[in-house]
Amino acid sequence: MRIPANSFKESLREHRTQIGLWSALANPYAAELVANTGFDWLLIDAEHAPNDPLTVLPQLQAIAPYPVHPVVRPVQGDVALIKRYLDIGVQTLLIPMIETVEEAERMVSATRYPPEGVRGVGSGLARASRWNQVDDYLHNCQSEICLLVQVESVTGLQNIAGIAAVDGVDGVFFGPADLSASMGYLGRPNEPEVRAAITGGIEIVSAAGKAAGVLATDQLVAKDYLASGASFAAVGVDTTLLVNAARALSAEFKTKADSVAPTPGSLY
């Protein structure tokens, strides 16, 4: 049995733009519902959504038959936690709050077996190797693992060139919500200064030969980032889509005084 190919990593390597959806409902039924809606990748969020390896696993299983690639964001860049996600079959990780070259290097090490890294060896217990039914998983898995690091602070931006240059980092993702807060614009991710900082970061990452990504739920802003060189972008969040659709429907049948308008400016 051959190791599953990472279509997302291959697409980024070949400079094919990948459009994604954020999934925060923490439910396999909801994940499967959006898995066949035309997106290239689906971000399963375990940082701000109530997910962990035990809830991510059934979501991976639910979307496996569909033409969408799962990307998982753990709550933090913890070596032991990364090991657990890799072992349940996650091939693409988005690690939040990376600020330094050393932190990025540590995340690369966490995704690789010794002697190149520190990932613990337990493939006989792991879905990733199909319980040692994948041919030579230990030596072949690294080629299909995609590591994305998330830069979302002023400190991270100051170190962006070094972070992007780290061998083993496949892409750098910009988080406008936390970045805007770090820059003094809490809740205002589309401020011109924030957008300019992200656009500049995208240019630096692209110049380093790495993929640049971003979350932008405003369609015009997302298109601007893509035009600036972003290789992958998440353009919607499932929770927001559901809430906004429900509010719009209820507003059709209630007075304006009773309806509640969506909160502007928020990514989530």
Residue positions annotated with a catalytic role: 48
- Cα–Cα distance, 137 to 130 (Å, whole number): 9
Q: What angle do CA 50, 268, 85 make, to 5 degrees?
A: 40
DSSP string, 199-263: HHHHHHHHHTT-EEEEE--SHHHHHHHHHTT-SEEEEEEHHHHHHHHHHHHHHTTS-TTT--PPP
- Cα–Cα distance, 83 to 80 (Å, whole number): 5
Q: How many residues does the chain have?
A: 268
Cβ–Cβ under 8 Å, residues 146 and 232: no
Cβ–Cβ under 8 Å, residues 196 and 174: no
Q: For residue 128, what are its two tokens? A: 């990733």
Query: 83: which strand partners?
Result: none
Other CB atoms within 10 Å distance of the CB of residue 68: 23
DSSP string, 131-158: TTTSTTHHHHGGGG-EEEEEE-SHHHHH
Q: Which class for 56: exposed (0-12), middle (13-18), buried (19 or more C-beta within 10 A)?
A: buried
